[in-house]
């Protein structure tokens, strides 16, 4: 799974990198974060029928049909192998795909017995942001309305995971789907509902593209959000 990541590249730089328009919504207000957790806002690239844009969506997918938005707390990841079977994901996979930007992510490696886990930090070897494959949806809040009397809307997203590559398999049995730039146009195309063709992107990225190092257990506490969290540490 992917349950914690790092987002330090500025929204303006991400807009250039992903070839979007200027950041929209609250995206321009997002600063560097070193311990992004579920239910928080994450920088998301999408094409919903207009120009490609960079916005902020809540991490944890809330399907449009949900009765309670807390369902999103359990939907931070979508398994690639069952994405066309699950009611929560099959419709967004066909119509609402996105990219979730991250500079790195954490996974926990079992060491010294099952009870002890060492946090590991994973980044790209070239220092560029990851483009995690994601899905998004819009939920209308029946209990809150805007000034026009329309339901308030919650935009949320999930990260698609797949089998690990060789490097990640030493740490965890899942990894985020990492999209190469050559796939971005097809993946984000809101008019493309060819799920059989899109499924070919849901594979592990090559091990040679990533690097991994151990970091402090301070990252275990979601309230910690400091640059030193991603610094390498020795392992006893």
Could you give the percent of the chain with pLDDT greater than 70?
Answer: 97
Catalytic residue among 98, 107, 166, 170: 107
What is the chain's mean pLDDT, rounded?
Answer: 94
Q: Does residue 115 fall inside a structural domain? A: yes
Q: Does residue 235 fall inside a structural domain? A: no
Report pLDDT digits (tens) over 138-179. Answer: 999 888 777 777 788 999 999 999 999 999 999 999 999 999
The token pair at 80 is: 């690639």
Q: Does residue 140 fall inside a structural domain? A: yes
Q: Does residue 27 fall inside a structural domain? A: yes
Q: Does residue 90 fall inside a structural domain? A: yes
Residue 113 has pLDDT above 70, yes or no: no
Report pLDDT digits (tens) over 179-191. Answer: 999 999 999 999 9
Residue 128 sits in a domain whose CATH number is 3.90.1680.10
Q: Does residue 236 fall inside a structural domain? A: no
Average pLDDT on 54-79 reads 96
Q: Does residue 144 fall inside a structural domain? A: yes
Domains identified in the chain, total number: 1
Q: Is 98 a catalytic residue?
A: no
At 116 the pLDDT is 79
Q: Does residue 145 fall inside a structural domain? A: yes
At 226 the pLDDT is 97
Catalytic residue among 2, 81, 85, 231: 2
Which residue range forms the structural domain that includes residue 118?
5-230
Q: How many helices (H) and strands (E) does the chain have?
A: 5, 12
Give the dihedral sign, CA 201/49/134/227.
positive
Question: C-alpha angle 60/157/206, rounded to 5°?
Answer: 100
Residue 109 has pLDDT above 70, yes or no: yes
Q: Is 2 a catalytic residue?
A: yes
């Amino acid at each position: 799974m992917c349950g914690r990541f790092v987002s330090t590249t500025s929204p303006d730089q991400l807009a250039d990198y992903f070839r979007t328009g200027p950041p929209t919504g609250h995206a321009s207000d997002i600063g560097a974060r070193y311990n992004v957790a579920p239910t928080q806002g994450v920088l998301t690239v999408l094409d919903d029928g207009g120009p490609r844009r960079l916005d902020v969506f809540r991490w944890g997918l809330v399907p449009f049909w949900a009765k309670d938005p807390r369902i999103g707390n359990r939907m931070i990841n979508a398994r690639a192998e069952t994405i066309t079977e699950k009611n929560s994901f099959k419709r967004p996979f066909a119509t609402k795909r996105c990219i979730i930007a991250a500079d790195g992510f954490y996974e926990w490696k079992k060491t010294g017995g099952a009870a002890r886990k060492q946090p590991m930090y994973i980044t790209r070897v070239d220092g560029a942001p990851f483009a995690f494959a994601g899905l998004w949806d819009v939920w209308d809040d029946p209990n809150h309305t805007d000034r026009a009397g329309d339901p308030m809307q919650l935009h949320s997203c999930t990260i698609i995971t797949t089998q690990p590559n060789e490097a990640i398999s030493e740490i965890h049995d899942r990894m985020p789907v990492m999209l190469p730039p050559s796939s971005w146009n097809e993946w984000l195309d809101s008019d493309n509902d060819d799920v059989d063709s899109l499924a070919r992107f849901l594979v592990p990225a090559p091990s040679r593209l990533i690097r991994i190092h151990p970091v402090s257990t301070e990252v275990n506490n979601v309230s910690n959000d400091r640059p030193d969290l991603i610094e390498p540490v020795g392992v006893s």
